[in-house]
Chains A and B, each alone.
Chain A
Amino acid sequence: MLRSEAKRTRNYKYNPIYNLLVGMWEQRVSRVGFFILMAVVGFSVIGLVYTPYNPYATNFPRDLPPSSSHWLGTTDYGQDVFSQLISGGFPVLGVGLGTGLIGTILSIIIGVLAGLYEGTVVDKLLNGISQLFLVIPGILVVEIIGTYLGAEQIKLGYLAVLLALSSTGWAWGARVLRSQVLTMRRREFVMSSELIGESKLSTVFRQIIPNNLPLVASNFFFTSIYGIAGFTFIYYFGLGSVNQVNWGTMLYWSLGGEAYLRGLWWWYIPPGLLIGLVAFSFALINMGIDRVANPRLRVWNVKKVRRALQGEMR
């Protein structure tokens, strides 16, 4: 669409970020995902300033089912579950989204570099490394490193987990971006801008990435899901610092306390549920992005249009 035409038709801005966000908002899938995410985030934010009881306090009666004084009951160690739940969200969200962010940035850098220097040693090297990271399961490696570190009484703190997950979760995005760079570079508008002297770097940031924004956004959420799953995995096996309170440690301790065998569902289902909801909301948002990017996946509401038209004609 010509810029002049664009200005004439309603409020069509020529900003790809704006368009993607508007598109995501219009898709019901991502709207729902967004609301779920906001709900969980809000819940965790409240936990920053208010908890019914001290999450670490162990002086409550043990194994209490949910009641009016303990909304989600107590753990086997005499802690209030609800307090733990409401204050234990931020690490999960932080590591999850952080992994998404760092992982996506890494995959952009590596993917683009490989694509720009196609055919050279740089490309072959980077591509080989990404294929490597793709095949060999990163989580396993992280686990093993965690185990060995555990020997030194070193437990993985949040930062360590974040770094470990980010450094293993970028491979898929890098490969996809690389192939996108290759495809785009062969298209006329990119070639023509390179011919008139636009630097390669500028081409990347002003042409290639904006045109692949849905892909980058999708990669971000995809990697965030990996971050959350990885976080859960690491803490569940006790490789993280289990004396802190977060949803992952709740799962760890509930496993040790055999909550599922003793009917203490209020201890492990809420954290699992919230972890699931966060990742689920990311997945929904991702589906919305897919639909914005690929109109063929969109769903059309014929009845609505028919009714509207009949209304007009009356």
Chain B
Amino acid sequence: MSKGTVSVEVKGLNVGYITDKGYTRVVRNANISIPEGKITGIVGESGSGKSTLANSLIGFINPPLFVESGSVIVDGKYDVLAMDPDQLNQVRGKIISYVPQAAQNSLNPIRKVKDTINDMLRGHGMDLSTNRESVLKTMEMVGLSDRQVLDMYPFQLSGGMRQRVIIAISLLLSPRIVVMDEPTTGLDVIVQYDILKLIKKLQKQMSLTIVFISHDIAMLFQISDYVAVMYGGQIVEYGEYSELLGNARHPYTYLMLNSVPTVSTLGRKLTKIPGEFEGFSNYPKGCVFSQRCPFATPQCRDSPPQAYSYAGVFFYKCSRYPEWRDQK
């Protein structure tokens, strides 16, 4: 891969939840370097910790979330987990932006769109009236050329339009990095496709770094340049999307890709990954995937694998590569 700069550097991140009876660690020893100017996808099952990781990228850790250890360095100089709220507010929105899950809940229901935009701008010392032109331009960029949208309440807009509004808001301050947490969940397929196209277009136009989180494997691979696979709170593999497609290093990646129905799998029986994740309170001793992995050995179940890196920043956490590939 080309020697680009690193946008977001995650080092040794351990994040968990405070529960009634103590603390449960969720994200375990996450290390990843998100490259600048590319779309990096983070994929995983529900409960794999990807949303927690996404929140950590913008320093959004409030109780009962709790950062045990580790650091997240944004844009090479902002240690978001160590900054205080005032400093964080300088970074959020301006350097790194966020598109939340379920846009329908993220827009203030009793404010018109233009008022919410005004709120956002005023949070950074600006306001709508002086920046009207750039706001309108951003709205047009996301495909909302009808100015009436500004005067509407969220419940009057369709799901797709609300998502576009959210995307527009996230771009208002011209950030360099945008973290998108499941931006297309809940939308119908056609709208999903439109939004994906929009994201790709925006990324090219504004040279954004995009971190795209989803559980939808097929969609993720359509849009991402680089993909990180999460399981049980750990990043088990990270590499270029084409590499993962053709030559996945981790069994989970491989099995996951093969369980997605595509045109080429028509008529064939899809593979299914047996069993389910044991849960964070019952964390497996060895490799996190060992209980369900068809290629696991007693040694896999006993001791966790280390991260084997290649091509500089990519890595995978499997001690049996490349042997398991001969077994499939």
Contacts and interface: CB of A to CB of B under 8 A. Distances in A.
Contact of A302 (B21, B22, B66): B66
Interface of B: 18, 20-23, 63-64, 66, 68, 281
Interface string A1-21: 000000001100000000000
B281 A305 contact: no
Interface residues of A, number: 10
A10 B21 contact: yes
A300 B21 CA distance: 11
Given A9-B281, A305-B66, A309-B68, A300 B18 contact: yes
B63 A300 contact: yes
Contacts of A300: 18, 63-64
Name A's interface SS. Answer: helix
Contacts of B64: 300
A305 B21 contact: no
B63 A302 contact: yes
A10 B20 CA distance: 12
A9 B279 CA distance: 12
A195 interface: no
A300 B64 CA distance: 7
Given A9-B281, A309-B68, A302 B23 contact: no
Nearest to B63: A300
9 contacts: A26-B20, A300-B18, A300-B63, A300-B64, A302-B63, A302-B66, A305-B18, A306-B66, A308-B22
A308 B23 CA distance: 9
Interface in A258-314: 300-302, 305-306, 308-309
The 10 A-B pairs at the shortest CB distance, nearest first, are namely: A300-B63, A305-B18, A300-B64, A305-B23, A302-B63, A300-B18, A305-B66, A309-B23, A309-B68, A302-B66
Nearest to A312: B23
A26 B20 CA distance: 9
Contacts of B22: 305, 308
Contacts of B23: 305, 308-309
Nearest to A5: B279
Contacts of A309: 23, 68
Contacts of A10: 21
A227 B66 CA distance: 44
A301 B20 CA distance: 10
Nearest to A8: B282
A38 B278 CA distance: 44
Nearest to B281: A9
B14 to A, nearest CB: 10
Interface string A121-149: 00000000000000000000000000000
A300 B22 CA distance: 11
B149 to A, nearest CB: 31
Contacts of B20: 26
A308 B22 CA distance: 9
B68 A302 contact: no
Interface in A54-101: none
Contacts of B68: 309
A306 B61 CA distance: 14
B49 to A, nearest CB: 18
Contacts of A301: 18
A137 B66 CA distance: 49
A311 to B, nearest CB: 12
A300 B281 CA distance: 20
A300 B23 CA distance: 12
Contacts of A306: 66
Contacts of A26: 20
B280 to A, nearest CB: 12
A163 to B, nearest CB: 42
Given A309-B23, A309-B68, A302 B281 contact: no
B202 to A, nearest CB: 34
Nearest to A306: B66
Interface string A145-165: 000000000000000000000
A151 to B, nearest CB: 54
